[in-house]
Amino acid sequence: MSISYNSLCDDFYVDMYINTRFDLPSERETLLTFFERITKQFPSMKALSRDSGAGYCLEEDPQSGRNRWVGVDVDRVGAGIVNPESFQQAFELPKAIIDLVPYMLGVRGLDVDSVDLTFGMDFDCAGNHNEIIAEALFSGSAFAKIFDCAGAGPLNLSPAVVIALDDDCMTRARLTVDCRTDESEIRSKKFDEDKPISLYLTIRQYPRPSKDFDLKDAFDRLCGQAVDFMDEKIVPNFVMSLTNAIAHRR
């Protein structure tokens, strides 16, 4: 199935993180063997780098426009893709990592603190991000009355909300809209057109203390929940409002 979200934004990406209770292995041979195993299944992933801390990242060429990546940090393993063409392609790499981590990095059910699946969207836009977000998401609300006052208006309007998707609060959805307009731009009224507004939907699953935690089953559930949440809640109520507000300024 193709992903229709690509047509609604400038970049769409899918990220998965397995957050662990114990530190992950940091031995050179262990990590090299893990990354080499990934390159066998995904031959285009050949760029290995290290960040300023203890994290490592294996990825495709970022200039390709459809970049896969896998990262290993002290206490989490991540995998993702930018601009996937289908859900099958979006979830292929995270599922491969879930298959590998038990026997290559020692990650088992007791070690898992949580699993995250994030759908992200970037919207390129010129102008004050605060004004766009206020128009798209707060128009007609009580917050609009606060924004309607003398002065430059909101300085950092980045709304976020977390909701529980089950009665025991072990499955949660977090929606965040990131504003990247800074104070210097507001003062000068010169806005960086290369900074996007970003929207993130993250579904997080915590293990239930009384049950064994199966990574594969948990990830499959997260995939279904994230797609349903996007289709039923996020796209019609948030994405369309943002794209309409951005269009008004073009």
Stretch 120-134: mean pLDDT: 91
Proportion of the chain above pLDDT 70, given as a percent: 95
Bridge partners of 59, per DSSP, are 47, 69
Buried b or exposed e, range 15-26, using 16+ CB within 10 angstroms: bbbbbbeeebee
> Which residue, 73, 80, 88, 86, is CA-closest to 24?
73
Of 6-10, 93-97, 137-141, 165-169, the one with minimum mean pLDDT is 137-141
Per residue, the 3-state secondary structure of 3-19, as one string, reads CHHHHHCCEEEEEEEEE
| pLDDT(155) > 80 | no
Q: Rounded distance, CA 207 to CA 108, Å? A: 12
Cα angle, residue 176 at apex, residues 178 and 131 outer, rounded to 5°: 45
pLDDT of res. 1 = 45
Q: How far is CA 104 from CA 97, 126, 136, 213, 217, in A?
A: 10, 46, 46, 18, 19
| pLDDT(147) > 80 | no
Is 108 in contact with 215 (CB distance < 8 Å)?
no
Q: In 21-172, which ranges are continuous DSSP H helix?
A: 28-41, 87-104, 129-133, 142-147
pLDDT of res. 152 = 55
pLDDT of res. 248 = 80
pLDDT tens figures, 18-46:
999 999 999 999 999 999 999 999 999 99
pTM > 0.85: yes
Q: Which two tokens stand for residue 116?
A: 């995250």
Tokens 């279904």 label which residue? Answer: 224
Cα angle, residue 133 at apex, residues 127 and 138 outer, rounded to 5°: 145
Domain ranges of the chain: 4-126+154-247
Stretch 118-143: mean pLDDT: 90
pLDDT of res. 194 = 80
